[in-house]
Amino acid sequence: MVKVMAVNAGSSSLKFQLFNMPEESVITSGIVERIGFEEANFEIKVDGKKHVVTCPILDHNVAVQLLLDALVEHKVVDDLSEIGAVGHRIVHGGEYFSDSAVVNDDVVSKVEELCELAPLHNPAHLIGYRAFKEALGDVEHVFVFDTAFHQTLDAERYLYALPKSFYSDLKVRKYGAHGTSHKYVANEVIKYLGNPKHSRVIVCHLGNGASISAVEDGVCIDTSMGFTPLAGVMMGTRCGDVDPSVMPYLCKKLNKSPDEVLNIYNKESGMLGVSGISSDSRDIENALFNDGNEDALLTGLLYSRIVSKYIGSYVMELGGVDVIAFTAGVGENASYLRRIIIDNVSRALGCHLDESLNAIRSKDNRVISSPYSQVEVMVVPTNEEVMIARDTMRLLEL
């Protein structure tokens, strides 16, 4: 039995789970939020109880030390030497990594090089890695890349219709994101199907960030996010696909720079921009069903229509579909959005939900389609952390 720490470091946060492997049992989990602030929050869950501390956490080194001290204080471990390995989520691996990687100087150098493609994420991941490396000494580390699962896309799916030199010289192409989640969910669906030789799965990872993937025989053949996580479907605050000509038009009309408009695309659009209510689908759902808010209704309809269009296009690419799987915060919990999305594709695919099953909230994998549906529809709660732990075990041969 090996204790493996799975880490997801953001620009101002650090999420973690400590696993007993290979049993995959969670020993403890938690999050550090508002890193860099005088009033930061540290939360750790031990034996079913949450312990919350508010204190200054000025950088990731302080956050990591606070976490490691808490492990000993709450007797999660008697000594930090019990931690056998650490796996880190890395958003962007570019074309360098089609799989997770054991960390060495070359791997770190490549991730540093890719910081310009993920400026909000990769630098934070590296800070988290270095903080754990300093605190834990000789413990080995593994990087698990969000983009790796999508490296199986072929050129006709990852290239943009731009001058070829933009790709060859500047590496402008579709990279995708959420790959760790897409891989986990696709594998769970294939397992549910009985591990057939051939399978066609569409994974709808719908959270504050959202992406769709087409998975054939366990291999990703297309995905909705592009050069950055801004592309694809509408999200909490991100616009998704927009005519490129909108950018210079808004710059001129609003007297804003491209960076300022891009900030609007990323942080003021999506559900928040259309509804004027919130980026949180729960707030929009409350406004719709409690207040009859018309903008909330429009937001739900627009969101669902965009997702269903991607589902339809991926059905064509796959030559059919066996299972449509919903995951992440919105996909797992917003039953009314699942219903609208499936209604949108029902005439073409002959798929239908069982409303009583769709209404159930559970942390378990579950089928929500009716028995007479020609395509099965599932909800599969994602677990990126366990995928990080699995890859860490596999690559370090623990």
Residues with a catalytic annotation lie at: 146
Instruction: Give the integer Cα–Cα distance in Å for 26 and 46.
Output: 10
Spatial CA neighbour of 53 closest among 63, 65, 40: 40
Token couple for 142: 């593994």
Assess whether the previous peptide bond of 22 is cis (omega < 30° from 0). yes
Which H or E element spans position 102?
strand 101-102
CB of 210 within 8 A of CB of 232?
A: yes
Q: End-to-end distance of the chain based on CA atoms, in angstroms? A: 9
Find tokens 């204190």 and name the residue. Answer: 55
Token couple for 219: 């291999």
CB of 10 within 8 A of CB of 33?
A: no
Token couple for 311: 């589902």
CB of 55 within 8 A of CB of 73?
A: no
Strand 83-90 versus strand 140-145 pairing type: parallel
Instruction: Give the integer Cα–Cα distance in Å for 218 and 209.
Output: 23
